[in-house]
Amino acid sequence: MKYEQISNSLFIKNRKNFMAEMRPKSIAVFNSNDIYPIGADSVLPFEQHRDLFYLCGADQEETKLLLFPDAMDKSHREILFVRETNAHIAVWEGEKLTKEKATEVSGIETVYWLQDFDRVFFDLMTEADTIYFNTNEHYRQAVETETREDRFIQECKRKFPAHQVAKSNPILQKIRGVKEPEEIELMQTACNITEKGFRRVLQFVEPGVWEYEIEAELLHEFVRNRSKGFAYPPIIAAGNNANVLHYLENNKRCLSGDMILMDTAAEYANYSSDLTRTIPVDGKFTKRQKEVYEAVLRVKNEATKMLVPGTIWKDYHVECGKLMTSELLGLGLLDKADVQNENPQWPAYKKYFMHGTSHHIGLNTHDYGELKTPMQANMVFTVEPGIYIPDEKLGVRLEDDVVIQENGEPFNLMAGIPIEVEEIEELMNK
């Protein structure tokens, strides 16, 4: 891995928090992700299942974690199963986790080779009444691929039909949504790397550059600072491309008079950052571009202030809609009749701002976290309002990542990343 090894104290703490929520005499199993094929002998780069990583820090394929707080043998209350390594694997694939290294990374004393899982698991299931399955219940999930977790669940139901079944996901939603100090530090590192990339781009952009050239500048800066690269597919959208919310082609030339919407950010140690900035290709905003930009910025600033303990996510978005409605009236994009006659299910502002303002962020860009209960301190949210005007070939979105505090306004992990009109113009024209 490019990142510096994370202290296993984080994973020890995370496992303790998870096991505290488990039923008596229950086992929880977590599986690594598959390596997904492209064709022939080619595969996609491996990405670890974020739940497994959260609980043990093992960033390697063919890994299983078993938690059994009530196991009769204390050494079996936490077990990590890893792929057996040897000299041949070391030559062809590189170093894999030894049992000793797996313990160092995870803080788990009992480590077995993966080939021993079935034997050990069967023995422990004779002591257990309940098995926790780790299903994906994220509100945006739309996965069609059968995963290792899916196959494990099917096989487990066949072999152990008399056991009770429970869900890991509600526990993970609860504990992963509230970040530990070590996690916030890792996310701050990701944001700092993102800042380096954005400042580099401000010096690079000029009329005639291509969107993919900007993407390349960012990737160079991210990787040279120990990131794997982008935390999510990068959006580099010049001109009217900014009005495509998930524009990914990044293959157009940036022309004089255009604005460029860049939704691009680095990961670090599997933790995401999520940044959006919109800048003028010419290095100077036109009067209209500045008007729209500052309207979005005002919404972002006011929306940020509402991210405090006790806020309900659904109510928060209603209030953000009111802020945006006011700004759109000021810009002449809506009139009073539009608002008076609006459909409550699709308010008038949605014509120009059709997505949400905030989401949890952490090990996933759209992270786990409770949405129907009041917000808590140390939850981390994005704040990302936007205004999209296809008729003017203009789209502006601004986004920062913030940490909810016990008291007062949230802490902005991206406070050092330029966002004010004057600072952006100054840096682009050095």
pLDDT of 1 reads: 87
pTM for this structure?
A: 0.96
66 pairs with which residues across the strands?
Answer: 29, 79
pLDDT of 46 reads: 94
Q: How far apart are CA 193 and CA 229, in angstroms?
A: 10
Q: How far apart are CA 182 and CA 180, in angstroms?
A: 5
The conformational region for residue 425 under phi > 0 = left, psi -120 to 50 = alpha, else beta, is: alpha
First to last CA, the chain: 36
Q: Are strands 386-389 and 411-412 parallel, antiparallel or unpaired?
A: unpaired
pLDDT in tens, the chain (430 residues): 899 999 999 999 999 999 999 999 999 999 999 999 999 999 999 999 999 999 999 999 999 999 999 999 999 999 999 999 888 887 788 889 999 999 999 999 999 999 999 999 999 999 999 999 999 999 888 888 999 999 999 999 999 999 999 999 999 999 999 999 999 999 999 999 999 999 999 999 999 999 999 999 999 999 999 999 999 999 999 999 999 999 999 999 999 999 999 999 999 999 999 999 999 999 999 999 999 999 999 999 999 999 999 999 999 999 999 999 999 999 999 999 999 999 999 999 999 999 999 999 999 999 999 999 999 999 999 999 999 999 999 999 999 999 999 999 999 999 999 999 999 999 999 8
Q: Are 71 and 384 in contact (CB under 8 A)?
A: no
Q: How far apart are CA 304 and CA 378, in angstroms?
A: 14
Q: Where are the domains of the chain?
A: 9-177, 181-428
Q: Are 400 and 191 in contact (CB under 8 A)?
A: no
Q: How far apart are CA 218 and CA 232, in angstroms?
A: 13
Pick the CATH number of 9-177 from 3.40.350.10, 3.40.50.300, 3.40.190.10, 3.20.20.70: 3.40.350.10
Pick the CATH number of 181-428 from 3.90.230.10, 3.40.1500.10, 3.40.50.300, 1.10.10.10: 3.90.230.10
Query: What is the crossing angle of helices 421-428 and 181-204, to 10°?
Result: 50
